Amino acid sequence: MTHFLTIPEELFLLTVNEKTGRTASVKSRKFDILLAASILMDLALHNRIDTDMEYVIPDNQEPTGHPLLDQALEMIRNSSDQKTIIYWLLRLSERAVQDRKLLVSGLIEKGLLKMDKERVFLGFSSKKYPSLVKDKEIIEVKTRIRDLVFSTDLPDFRDVVIISIGWYGGLLNLIFSEEEIEKYQIRIEMLAKMDLIGQAVSKSLKELTLSIIFSMHAKEILGIKSPEEKLEDLIGEMKALMHIEDENNLPDWLRKGTIQYQKTLTFIKETGTSEIVYNPLTGKYGLKIWAGLR
């Protein structure tokens, strides 16, 4: 079956608010890695690569016709030897600025975005930025994923990929409320684990995130970034993801002056990272990427 959008394009569109046309912040190291993961998974969907639980294995070398995918495929094909999934997540994430431009160009060609003037966005010049033209595809992606999670239907492979990236990458709040994530956690986790390649990439995402968290903790010990600064970073990210302008509309665990805000700050001090999630139903915090809350 031919799909109008690639998995990276669907991932990008999930960050766009269909009502305002604004995107959440995607100029982050975390999104760069998740974008790289979506590229690998789409290449697998096109039967261009396979994986075991550690290595990327080249398969069919015929181009897919998608510039973003084909440039990654060429890199893998030209590699002197077989490389690990973590290697390719890092290597492809280094191309994130270029890849975001390819994503936007592709979505403009498909009539979903247009270029407007006098605003800085995604590395484009200050005179032009992309804005939303049609919201149909964004709504379709979110509705498709929500309907799948709320049902007992068997999933399409690409939907498993989107759920897997959202689950392990901490992006499900772009599709679901925190209460819905808690209520359907078992179903979401089951779907995220259904694809072997998704499992392999997700395993590498976990390992990579763990190393990043250790790095963050080391930086905190060296005094490079305080817990308060990390919490401010988290608040900024969540405001972008949830499209919140007024800080008074933030949930309690991120709103200054609340008891839960202080608990959030304490958890960041204990873990050394702001890559965290909070479940308001259980009152528990956890680390992003890891499936279980603690």
Q: How far is CA 224 from CA 29, 216, 218, 220, 274, in A?
A: 17, 9, 9, 6, 14
For residue 119, what are the contacts with CB-CB under 8 A and spacing of at least 6?
126, 128, 129
Class of CATH domain 7-191: mainly alpha
Kindly state the tokens that stand for 189.
């986790």
For the chain, the domains span 7-191, 225-294
pLDDT reported for residue 214? 55
**Nearest Cα to 7, choosing from 76, 77, 72?**
72
pLDDT reported for residue 179? 84
pLDDT reported for residue 196? 64
φ, ψ for residue 59 (rounded to 5)? -125, -110
pLDDT reported for residue 50? 85
pLDDT reported for residue 19? 62
Residues with pLDDT less than 50, the chain: 1, 118-133, 218-223, 290-294
Single pTM value for the model: 0.68
pLDDT reported for residue 136? 66
CB-side exposure of 151: number of CA atoms within 13 Å?
9
pLDDT reported for residue 265? 93
pLDDT in tens, 132-177: 445 566 677 888 899 999 999 888 888 888 888 888 777 888 888 8
| Contacts of the segment 231-240: beta carbons below 8 A, 24+ positions apart | 231/264, 231/265, 231/268, 231/274, 233/274, 234/268, 234/274, 234/276, 236/25, 237/24, 237/25, 237/28, 240/23, 240/24, 240/25
Q: Which residues are 117's β-sheet partners?
A: 128
